[in-house]
Structure 1
């Protein structure tokens, strides 16, 4: 008997789960009702069931029950969403509906906008720094070009932290935990009224430490360790009957360790081994979470965020001002090759300061018309300082025998030493926006949104220079390369190249005039600037068939600002000549419905969408050069559904499923197997998009096992599924067939005893209970280094947590 393909079997299984769950719930009479979920996704407090937007809202209590303790956990219960923690928990990489970020450069903004208390966070390394004392999490799927603006082509994530209250019902808690890998956590929050009825204050903080789960053989310190400390002060001031203000200051710091990649050699040798260019072959005896890295080191981030929100509350409108200031920096010592020799090691460093101001008018008129209108200004100054250490160890002579005709650039790289890349970027953004709501009848409404954005990106400083392994300056490529050759060296004839690898003594003579640098300088290449003026927006209609059923249809346009190439190149470039990636755009068409069923004991939301994706930005690695490029065009089709149900007083279910069909319709990239011919291009049209699995799903169940007069024993079991996905636009072409991840499940659980009065709880928890082995990122570095790079996802973790509420 013929069996269905894995993806199709998964689809059938998940569909059957949805149908059987709905059938089971419908057979249960007098089920308890679900709680209403309020969100501020459209800049006003509304129920998720009343807004024609695909949004998932999770309360702080829900986050606790699901075991979310970092931003990396967000994607576990949201359809068509993934979160990668390739660079640690404080630097998550988000993907929604196939719209993702493959660029690891710190100057690049994510296409998923991340907001903390309405403050936009540009640097990706700041996205996980505020994930403690959270009141609510909101994930908006689809372009948010009207109310959120640029860099939200895929969606937006709102993290709303707790604000002190005046009714005495504010959350006050102390939570402590311990787990494997030496993990310890301590989180607390408390508040009080400093002036009764006028001024309230809240203090909260979190400490999280562990020894790391990536074992580095022969080293005393493991990789992927966490040492996080964060604190927040929140002030709530009711100035008078009309005016109020909330100020929040968050400071956080992580002094952890980098997650060392695993390097898999892809250069075959006559003796049957696969090696990298230093001759290293990863031993099969190493476990999935073990490496022999020689240079993996610190991963440090620091974030200071201040947000001031002021409201003037009139009888039928509100004026709001949101001012923010962010100071964040980042440093990482990454052993990119993941082996015991000096092949490719990178020191990443970045420092960013930004501020923003949003002024808006929000109406609460009686009648059919309401409006939100505002003005926005933002500015970011980001300085990047990356150091690439290349071929500290000499290549293995077997490389000559293995690839005599396709050596790539390896012979020329062995005397490079260090490449230091310094770049400053300034991003200025100004916008005017409005979203108008027309309720033509009690059941039929329309939203019309429009936003005009003016972005100016400036690169006032760029320098690419070469140093010796000891850090002594040698020369500069940009500025000053006199040859006009966009390469770090001038090629020698093949006999000279082979001689270098065969006899290291010939190195200095053969390469003495080979490098195309000018005299050493710290001066800058000419300043570059680009200004973009863009219109984005939305038009949507919705119809409520009853109090329980609402359907909607919409068209929206999203825009991600252009960006300067944060990778290595060797001659000064122009805006149109490779120094800058143009903006990307999405035209999104969506239909969906939202339904509260069975007396509000079951909630079912679903959507279908089509994206016309133009000029998608992504990083393309060719040799040791990195190019931020635009794909000509691509398309994304998908459907998704979410189900929540209170089946009984004891049982609550949550399920989500998403299906994607993605395709590059226009894309040509360099053939990385023939680097001698820079004009050799590969047509990749028809390939799937990066990080866009065809099937994804999640399920969560809460069941109260035992009920007593003093408390109850409850279990939460949740699981998430990700289908097969590619990490490269090449898919399986040109030696990229291994840059992928097969489908996998992650299963988590929590067993807890909860006091009936809410005063305390004691819980046992576990994540990735089946110890699934999977990768969250991969990169093909075969062309000049002979290996593929993989970053592993976390193994099984478990622990105990005690919480006291007062």
Structure 2
């Protein structure tokens, strides 16, 4: 398969890089309809849809993103037609009319630059062609959860042989699979609408240009979490499970896996506009390429974080971002033993974020402070905390120069040398954190204005459990207890002092490969990548200097050896790789009480193996297999002990723990078999399955109350039965996902310290449907 993973068109078997390429037809046959499906066919890759289909969270080879703040960039770079998409909520917006998908594993610090420590995902959409070779289609489907979809694309030559136009669109909607008891609307609803217009202009024999304008909007609903109480009141509550959250909610045991009793779960909306202009000058021995891109994306989500019917913790996330980028490069096409790519890159992003946190709209349960006396110091303030609104704006500017040199020392032996220099400037020009009453009346401001020197919403005061029980019984008395206890100052919308961070980074690669013959190649490489630093997008209550308000960049130095082979006269393809990562300063969010800390781990290591096999066993039977193995460990990691009510000074050593979202073993298998072959068409079945080993969602693993923040090993089974005409004019398919209806979680968070519960987000249940496609 031809890919452009190295910024030039090459076969996947000719490039010394671990890359998986999937064409549009393969994506359709495997039943891919959103970005969350990618991980099922790529070894050592996981995709979490914790925030809906349009906001996937990617992990490759144990490199993942734990920070849910919208200002944070993923360590897996996502590109659409070579345009970099920074905000994670824009990553799922262009998964329609796709020509091919490329997943590069390992740091891509030379040609892609920052924020690719784990790898890169290229989504290449279809470009209009000439001479009637276009794929034009209408595809419609219906399915479970009242799902219905419509996708179509058509193109025409506006000027024969010179200018062509393609238009495509996608509509997808379903009623949601997370049932909220007592509510008319389900969680995890989907209502997606996307469109794209593409122009391809062959200006003359040397110049060509492509312009793609995409717009997508999703008006679904938040995937409602499940709240599992972890406060032990078994001695005080003989009738329930014995575990509650701080408002006393005890999740009923008769609720199904995909049922909740949330009271404030609401909309999840995203809107993404993307423009990409690619201009090429094709000389005899080189090509000049310019890729200009503009992205405008916004995001809004109403999440009932506590996953229960009481008003404990509810959050409204909102963000708006604009970015543009310019990549200008030269790619040689010399006939000798030397070739090169060299370029300049500039990118700029500005993002505004406004989050609203609604805390303890319902009173704490008296049993909590009897069973957990330490909670008495916080509870009076929780009766009156109201609403916290966090406003933050950031600006990111990046400029880079890069080159990758290719030396074919002999016809069989080659060397790649890549080098990239990047300058980043990150600015936080505005930050305000203020407190409001539940009715929206301003009360006070933490940032700026908190002069107490205490990075907490309030000053802790001694209070006996008995006194607290009296206060809960008579809430009007809380004012006398909490007067002067909050750490905020007078209300203002002024900003905390502006913060600036500048970074200068060298990344690159040295690699060598040897081709034994046309079928066999081995390669080895050392590469280095980095993920840019980021300002803490979580809640905190005291002005922080740059050293604690900003997480430093993370780095990976990767050592890899691999082999690629085409065997049995092209009937079998085998690719394998072994790698070791020296991972330093990994960024992740740590929730301590009602504060958030974006921190760097000291060091960690990742070692792994992966294999991909494709085999055409017979004319009718084809197998595709992927196997991955990971061994991960934090070698230096010290975090706060969240069991001590959010006291950051109480630190615990977590070295030796496994990394998050890094299952030791993962496996995928896809089988295609043509059941019936006739002169007019064929009936084909595809069965594909994937296995994920046990994994942790927190760096604490099973320590300090985090033993339930994990997912056991599980299998998923999908299938598709379809009739396909030999001339490709139409197809009819029946499909099913998660056919065994496996129950599993894609995300979990420990919120016991100040709220007494763990949060879980479920994976999708079984779904099925029928799809008809007409090609013309």
Pick one of 508, 511, 515 that aligns with 2:486: 515
**SS across alignment from 2:480:** helix
Tell me the equivalent position of 1:395: 364
Matches of 1:724 and 1:770 in 2, distance apart? 19
Q: Is the 8 A contact 2:671 2:688 kept in 1?
A: yes
Within-5 A mapping of 1:281-320:
281-320=250-289
Give the C-alpha shift of residue 512 in structure 1. 1.6
Tell me the equivalent position of 2:746: 776
Tell me the equivalent position of 1:761: 731
Q: Is the 8 A contact 2:377 2:461 kept in 1?
A: no
Tell me the equivalent position of 1:646: 616
Matches of 2:473 and 2:373 in 1, distance apart? 11
Give the C-alpha shift of residue 494 in structure 1. 2.4
Note the aligned Cα RMSD (angstroms): 0.9
Within-5 A mapping of 1:31-430:
37-269=1-233, 270=235, 271-272=237-238, 273-407=242-376, 409-430=378-399
Matches of 2:140 and 2:100 in 1, distance apart? 21
Matches of 2:322 and 2:468 in 1, distance apart? 46
Q: Does 441-450 or 509-518 show the bigger shift?
A: 509-518
Give the C-alpha shift of residue 411 in structure 1. 3.6
Q: Is the 8 A contact 2:749 2:758 kept in 1?
A: yes
Tell me the equivalent position of 1:582: 552
Within-5 A mapping of 1:600-679:
600-675=570-645, 677-679=647-649
**SS across alignment from 2:353:** strand
Pick one of 450, 466, 490 that aligns with 2:459: 490
TM-score between the two structures when normalised by the length of structure 1 = 0.95
Matches of 1:406 and 1:683 in 2, distance apart? 25
Q: Is the 8 A contact 1:409 1:623 kept in 2?
A: no
Q: Is the 8 A contact 1:411 1:498 kept in 2?
A: no
Deviation track 1:168-210 (CA, whole Å, cap 9, x = no partner) reads 1111000000001000000000001000000000000000000
Give the 3 Å change call, closer, same or farther, for CA 556–475 of structure 1 in structure 2: same
Q: Is the 8 A contact 1:619 1:627 kept in 2?
A: yes
Tell me the equivalent position of 1:530: 501
Tell me the equivalent position of 2:477: 506
Matches of 2:230 and 2:379 in 1, distance apart? 14
Q: Is the 8 A contact 2:682 2:725 kept in 1?
A: yes
Matches of 2:664 and 2:375 in 1, distance apart? 35
Q: Is 2:435 the partner of 1:471? A: no
| TM superposition outliers: structure 1 runs of 4+ over 3 Å | 405-411, 496-503
Give the C-alpha shift of residue 125 in structure 1. 0.2
Tell me the equivalent position of 1:733: 703
Matches of 1:290 and 1:69 in 2, distance apart? 25
Give the C-alpha shift of residue 498 in structure 1. 5.8
Q: Is 2:662 the partner of 1:692? A: yes
Give the 3 Å change call, closer, same or farther, for CA 782–549 of structure 1 in structure 2: same
Give the C-alpha shift of residue 505 in structure 1. 3.4
Matches of 2:470 and 2:6 in 1, distance apart? 66
Q: Does 477-486 or 124-133 show the bigger shift?
A: 477-486
Matches of 1:450 and 1:456 in 2, distance apart? 20
Give the 3 Å change call, closer, same or farther, for CA 725–525 of structure 1 in structure 2: same
Q: Is the 8 A contact 2:645 2:754 kept in 1?
A: no
Give the C-alpha shift of residue 502 in structure 1. 5.5
Q: Is the 8 A contact 1:234 1:248 kept in 2?
A: yes
- Structure 1 stretches lacking a partner, 5+ long: 1-36
Matches of 1:203 and 1:324 in 2, distance apart? 19
Matches of 1:390 and 1:563 in 2, distance apart? 26
Q: Is the 8 A contact 1:410 1:785 kept in 2?
A: no
Pick one of 524, 536, 552 that aligns with 1:565: 536
Give the C-alpha shift of residue 680 in structure 1. 1.0
Give the C-alpha shift of residue 413 in structure 1. 2.0
Matches of 2:380 and 2:528 in 1, distance apart? 48
**SS across alignment from 2:276:** strand
Q: Is the 8 A contact 1:408 1:676 kept in 2?
A: no
TM-score between the two structures when normalised by the length of structure 2 = 0.98
Give the C-alpha shift of residue 513 in structure 1. 1.1
Q: Is the 8 A contact 1:321 1:357 kept in 2?
A: yes
Matches of 2:704 and 2:433 in 1, distance apart? 29
Give the C-alpha shift of residue 497 in structure 1. 5.1
Tell me the equivalent position of 2:688: 718
Tell me the equivalent position of 2:650: 680
Matches of 2:67 and 2:488 in 1, distance apart? 27
Matches of 2:708 and 2:70 in 1, distance apart? 26
> What number of residue pairs does the alignment pair up?
769
Give the C-alpha shift of residue 377 in structure 1. 0.1
Give the C-alpha shift of residue 711 in structure 1. 1.0
Matches of 1:423 and 1:677 in 2, distance apart? 25
Matches of 1:689 and 1:408 in 2, distance apart? 34
**SS across alignment from 1:64:** helix
Deviation track 1:209-261 (CA, whole Å, cap 9, x = no partner) reads 00000000000010000000000000000000000000000000000000110
Deviation track 1:294-349 (CA, whole Å, cap 9, x = no partner) reads 00000000000000000000001000000000000000000000100100000000
Matches of 1:676 and 1:151 in 2, distance apart? 31
Give the C-alpha shift of residue 292 in structure 1. 0.4
Give the C-alpha shift of residue 264 in structure 1. 0.2
Matches of 2:377 and 2:343 in 1, distance apart? 54
**SS across alignment from 1:507:** helix
- Structure 2 stretches lacking a partner, 5+ long: none
Q: Is the 8 A contact 2:71 2:87 kept in 1?
A: yes
Tell me the equivalent position of 2:410: 441
Q: Does 288-297 or 498-507 show the bigger shift?
A: 498-507
Pick one of 519, 527, 539 that aligns with 1:548: 519
Give the C-alpha shift of residue 674 in structure 1. 1.1
Give the C-alpha shift of residue 409 in structure 1. 3.2
Give the C-alpha shift of residue 499 in structure 1. 4.8
Deviation track 1:140-185 (CA, whole Å, cap 9, x = no partner) reads 0000000000000000000000000012111100000000100000
Deviation track 1:535-578 (CA, whole Å, cap 9, x = no partner) reads 000000000011110000000001000000000000111111x2
Matches of 1:149 and 1:408 in 2, distance apart? 48
